[in-house]
């Protein structure tokens, strides 16, 4: 049976300014895309970055919309259709979505994770840990979404308000008691999470990213702060004390603030005892723990998971035992070796900070005399300012670099590569380290041909992605599969 709610109930806290027609009618669905409208729907005309939903009100009515939410009333009002004018349809949609799905975020423990790097690993570890501890859990992440044991591909890090509430409703109906979700800066500024009730939130770190969208680093940080500003005084806020902006992100929160750190005194303190390709040996609190994850960056992710688990009422030793059994998410420092003892690594690192962390970690744990060969590109239609620094970092920490295409989207991939190598012009030693191969498959192949026994190949930027986006089309492409194929010839 389809869900049906009274329009008057859906309109609670949507900011109604004016109505025309009856608010007492049954609504079977809510949509903000006229192509998804079905008979009995409430259509919400949202003003987006590229299109204005008000232009599609007529299409929505033709498809059977029973009610229209808008910021500006249409010139002609159709008899039998209910019209609701609100101050802001973006906020109105968030409230309407929560109301239509009976506020599912209030019916489970929802934990949001934000930051430049580490979001995906942290939420997926949390999901795995709590599942292993006997809970039925939900997950909303860059790689995929999970409702209990049912997994589906994800297109966005944080879906729109309608999709988020629909997912959370499915989780509640499936018996989930916890949900863990990545919260991107785009989602926060676009108010996709408005109206959600978070039990807790985690700040991982912040570094250069998305400045094409946020314009300045200050605006980017302020976007992250929005998650913590909305927390209630019954929630917890957990932050990375080793990030200089860790406490700034939480400065306006009403939530109970807790910290984690590898360097300073914190509520959840850790220390790296050993770091290798095989994993991490850590000292956390009064315990020692072994993890299959590797790298300092993952030590922070583990601390975040441990801290959140403690805040959610789990015992320290139980948490750490469970964490030690967890594997790294797909495309996050996934490594393998061939018969010639060449190590291949695939990682999602697509920001300067993430790339530097991965390369530093490889250099810390690799054994001489092997060389490090890095294959790297930058995404098109995204923050251009980071391209030179990505190239400088790749060349600075590698013995050989192959600059190639990432997801060029609508940009010329060779122009993207030119933006990258411009960062090497001032340093002759770095200029000697790179070659350019625009075709990504060929670049990975050449790296494997160049490699000798003991060498390491890092293919960075796309990680778990199974596609390459070119001019609006996603072509099948898998870094890991190609790297394994070429190394095992």
End-to-end alpha carbon distance in the chain:
54
For 270-295, the pLDDT digits (tens) are 999 999 999 999 999 899 999 999 99
Whether 179 and 207 have beta carbons less than 8 Å apart is answered as no
Structure tokens at 60: 């929505």
Would you place residue 118 in the very low, low, confident or very high pLDDT band (cuts 50, 70, 90)?
very high
Q: For 152, list phi and psi in degrees, rounded to 5.
A: -135, 150
pLDDT for 367 equals 81
With 70 as the cut, is the pLDDT of residue 210 above it?
no
pLDDT for 454 equals 94
* Antiparallel, parallel or unpaired: β 400-403 and 434-436: parallel
State the span(s) of the chain assigned CATH 3.40.1390.10: 5-100
Q: How far apart are CA 299 and CA 117, in angstroms?
A: 13
State CA 24 to chain mean position distance: 39
Three-state SS for 347?
strand
With 50 as the cut, is the pLDDT of residue 393 above it?
yes
For 401-419, the pLDDT digits (tens) are 999 999 999 999 999 999 9
For 225-284, the pLDDT digits (tens) are 999 999 999 999 999 999 999 999 999 999 999 999 999 999 999 999 999 999 999 999
HEC states along 92-150? HHHHHHHHHCCCHHHCCEEEEEECCCCHHHHHHHHHHHHHHCCCCEEEECCCEEEECCE
Would you place residue 163 in the very low, low, confident or very high pLDDT band (cuts 50, 70, 90)?
very high
- The radius of gyration of the chain's CA atoms, rounded to the nearest angstrom, is 24
DSSP letters of 328-343?
Answer: PPTTSSEEEE-TT--E
With 50 as the cut, is the pLDDT of residue 379 above it?
yes
State CA 373 to chain mean position distance: 27
With 80 as the cut, is the pLDDT of residue 92 above it?
yes
Q: How far apart are CA 353 and CA 116, in angstroms?
A: 9
Instruction: Kindly give, in sequence order, each residue whose CB lies less than 8 Å from that of residue 26, ignoring residues fewer than 6 positions away.
Output: 4, 5, 6, 7, 40, 66
CATH class of the 5-100 domain in this structure: alpha beta
Three-state SS for 43?
strand
Whether 262 and 285 have beta carbons less than 8 Å apart is answered as no
Residue whose token pair is 């996934």: 334
pLDDT for 187 equals 87
Sheet holding 372-376, edge to edge: 334-337, 343-347, 456-460, 372-376, 400-403, 434-436
Please tell me the least confidently modeled range out of 40-54, 200-214, 340-354: 200-214
Whether 174 and 202 have beta carbons less than 8 Å apart is answered as no
Whether 171 and 104 have beta carbons less than 8 Å apart is answered as yes
pLDDT for 212 equals 54
With 90 as the cut, is the pLDDT of residue 215 above it?
no
Torsion of CA 343, 346, 350, 353, to 10 degrees: -50
DSSP H/E element including 480:
helix 479-487
Q: Does domain 334-487 have CATH number 3.90.190.20?
A: yes
Give the chain's mean pLDDT. 94
Alpha helices by DSSP H, listed for 144-295, are: 161-173, 185-189, 211-214, 217-229
With 80 as the cut, is the pLDDT of residue 346 above it?
yes
Q: How far apart are CA 461 and CA 377, in angstroms?
A: 7
Whether 89 and 142 have beta carbons less than 8 Å apart is answered as no
Residue 284 CA: distances (Å) to CA of 273, 319, 361 = 10, 11, 20
Whether 105 and 98 have beta carbons less than 8 Å apart is answered as yes
pLDDT > 90 fraction of the chain, expressed in percent and rounded? 87
Which residues is 286 bridged to in the sheet? none
Would you place residue 189 in the very low, low, confident or very high pLDDT band (cuts 50, 70, 90)?
confident
Neighbours of 340 (CB within 10 A): 12
Whether 66 and 40 have beta carbons less than 8 Å apart is answered as yes
Q: How far apart are CA 270 and CA 275, in angstroms?
A: 13
pLDDT for 209 equals 53
With 80 as the cut, is the pLDDT of residue 49 above it?
no
Task: Fold for 104-324, please state it.
Answer: 3.40.1190
Structure tokens at 274: 């050993």
DSSP H/E element including 458:
strand 456-460
- Helix 296-311 vs helix 119-132: angle between axes, to the nearest 10 degrees? 50
Please tell me the least confidently modeled range out of 1-15, 370-384, 445-459: 1-15
DSSP H/E element including 429:
helix 428-431
HSE of 348, CA atoms in CB hemisphere, 13 A: 17
State the span(s) of the chain assigned CATH 3.90.190.20: 334-487
Please tell me the least confidently modeled range out of 172-181, 229-238, 360-369, 374-383: 360-369
State the span(s) of the chain assigned CATH 3.40.1190.10: 104-324
Would you place residue 214 in the very low, low, confident or very high pLDDT band (cuts 50, 70, 90)?
very low
Instruction: Kindly give, in sequence order, each residue whose CB lies less than 8 Å from that of residue 379, ignoring residues fewer than 6 positions away.
Output: 350, 406, 407, 408, 409, 461
């Amino acid at each position: 049976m389809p869900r049906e709610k009274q329009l008057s109930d859906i309109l609670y806290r949507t900011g109604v300014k004016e109505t025309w027609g009856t608010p007492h009618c049954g609504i079977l669905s809510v949509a903000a895309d006229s192509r998804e409208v079905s008979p009995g729907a409430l259509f919400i005309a949202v003003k987006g970055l590229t299109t204005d939903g008000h232009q599609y009100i007529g299409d929505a009515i033709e498809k059977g919309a029973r009610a229209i939410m808008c910021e500006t009333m249409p010139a002609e009002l159709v008899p039998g259709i209910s019209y609701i004018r609100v101050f802001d349809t973006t906020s109105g949609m968030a409230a309407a979505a929560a109301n239509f799905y009976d506020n599912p975020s209030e019916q489970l423990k929802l934990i949001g994770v934000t930051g430049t790097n580490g979001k995906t690993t942290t939420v997926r570890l949390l999901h795995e840990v709590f599942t292993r501890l006997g809970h039925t859990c939900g997950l909303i992440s860059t790689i995929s979404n999970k409702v209990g044991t049912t997994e589906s591909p994800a297109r966005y890090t944080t879906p729109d308000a309608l999709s988020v509430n629909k997912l959370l409703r499915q989780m509640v109906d499936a018996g989930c008691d916890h949900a863990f979700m990545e919260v991107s800066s785009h989602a926060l500024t676009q108010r996709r999470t408005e109206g959600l009730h978070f039990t807790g939130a985690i700040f991982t770190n912040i570094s250069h990213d998305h400045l094409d969208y946020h314009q300045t680093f200050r605006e980017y940080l302020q976007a992250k702060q929005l998650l913590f500003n909305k927390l209630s005084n019954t929630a917890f806020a957990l932050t990375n004390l080793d990030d200089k902006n860790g406490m700034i992100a939480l400065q306006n929160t009403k939530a109970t603030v807790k910290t984690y750190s590898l360097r300073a005194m914190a509520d959840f303190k850790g220390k790296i005892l050993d770091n290798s390709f095989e994993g991490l040996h850590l000292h956390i609190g009064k315990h020692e723990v072994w993890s299959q994850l590797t790298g300092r960056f993952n030590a922070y992710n583990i601390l975040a998971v441990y801290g959140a688990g403690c805040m959610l009422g789990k015992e320290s030793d139980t948490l750490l035992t469970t964490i030690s059994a967890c594997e790294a998410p797909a495309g996050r420092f996934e490594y393998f070796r061939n018969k010639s003892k060449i190590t291949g690594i695939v990682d999602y690192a697509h920001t300067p900070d993430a790339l530097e962390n991965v390369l530093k970690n490889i250099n810390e744990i690799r054994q001489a005399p092997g060389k490090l060969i890095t294959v790297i590109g930058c995404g098109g239609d995204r923050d251009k300012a980071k391209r030179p620094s990505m190239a400088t970092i790749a060349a600075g920490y590698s013995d050989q670099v192959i600059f190639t295409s990432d997801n060029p989207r609508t940009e010329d991939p060779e122009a993207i590569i030119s933006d990258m190598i411009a960062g090497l012009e001032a340093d002759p030693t770095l200029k000697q380290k790179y070659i350019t191969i625009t075709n990504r498959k060929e670049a990975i192949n050449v790296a494997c041909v160049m490699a000798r026994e003991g060498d390491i190949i890092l293919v960075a930027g796309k990680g778990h992605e199974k596609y390459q986006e070119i001019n609006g089309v996603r072509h099948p492409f898998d870094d890991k599969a190609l790297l394994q194929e070429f190394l095992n010839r």
